[in-house]
Amino acid sequence: MKTKVNLPKGVKQKIKKNQPQKNALAPKKGTQVIIAPKKATAVQQAKIASEVSKVINEKNEEMLKARADKNQGRTPKSKS
- Is residue 4 domain-resident? no
- Is residue 63 domain-resident? yes
| Whole-angstrom distance, CA of residue 60 vs CA of residue 62 | 5
pLDDT per residue rounded down to tens, the chain (80 residues): 778 878 888 888 888 887 766 666 676 777 766 667 778 888 889 899 999 999 999 999 999 999 999 888 887 676 65
- Is residue 18 domain-resident? no
- Is residue 55 domain-resident? yes
| Number of structural domains found in the chain | 1
- Is residue 13 domain-resident? no
Radius of gyration of the chain (CA): 32
- Is residue 45 domain-resident? yes
| Whole-angstrom distance, CA of residue 14 vs CA of residue 21 | 21
- Is residue 11 domain-resident? no
**Residue numbers of the domain that contains 63:** 40-72
- Is residue 61 domain-resident? yes
CA-nearest of 54, 52, 57, 51 to 65 is 57
